[in-house]
Amino acid sequence: VLIDIDGKHEWRDCIDVPGVRLPRGYYFGTSSVTGDLSDNHDIISLKLYQLTVERTPEEEKRDREVFLPVVDNLKLPGMEAPLEPMSGLALFLIVFFSLVAIVFAIVIGIIVYNKWQEQSRKHFY
């Protein structure tokens, strides 16, 4: 992306991102007027519209090599490499310890329930 701050057709690099190829021959611009006072402006958003521009066959031929935007090595969110499947030993250990934990929880539940029943019985002494 090139920038011409002074409007003198002296273009300088504004952004250079390796692996990003944008179509050539497209422009967008911003301007602001502050009157006699100087002020800083922040560009919050841009609305871009495509204009129909007549181009010479030479421009079409030159710009045909990069027609669509392309990004090399793009990693999209949610597009991580698939996880490797678990080995048989890891799967066995997960299932085994899960069953042991479930049995342990059931035994503790039975003990607590029996103690609760003993305490809730009415004693006639």
pLDDT 10s digits, 1-59 = 677 777 788 878 877 777 777 776 666 666 666 666 666 667 777 777 766 667 788 87
Looking at the domain assignment, is residue 79 inside a domain? no
Q: What is the reported pTM? A: 0.34
96 and 55, same structural domain?
Answer: no
Looking at the domain assignment, is residue 14 inside a domain? yes
Comparison of pLDDT for 104 and 25, the residue scoring more: 104
Looking at the domain assignment, is residue 20 inside a domain? yes
Looking at the domain assignment, is residue 104 inside a domain? yes
Find the domain containing 102 and state its range.
84-124
Mean pLDDT of 60-82: 67
1 and 57, same structural domain?
Answer: yes
Looking at the domain assignment, is residue 9 inside a domain? yes
2 and 53, same structural domain?
Answer: yes
C-alpha torsion 74→29→47→32, nearest 10 = 130
Cβ contact 13:2 at 8 Å: yes
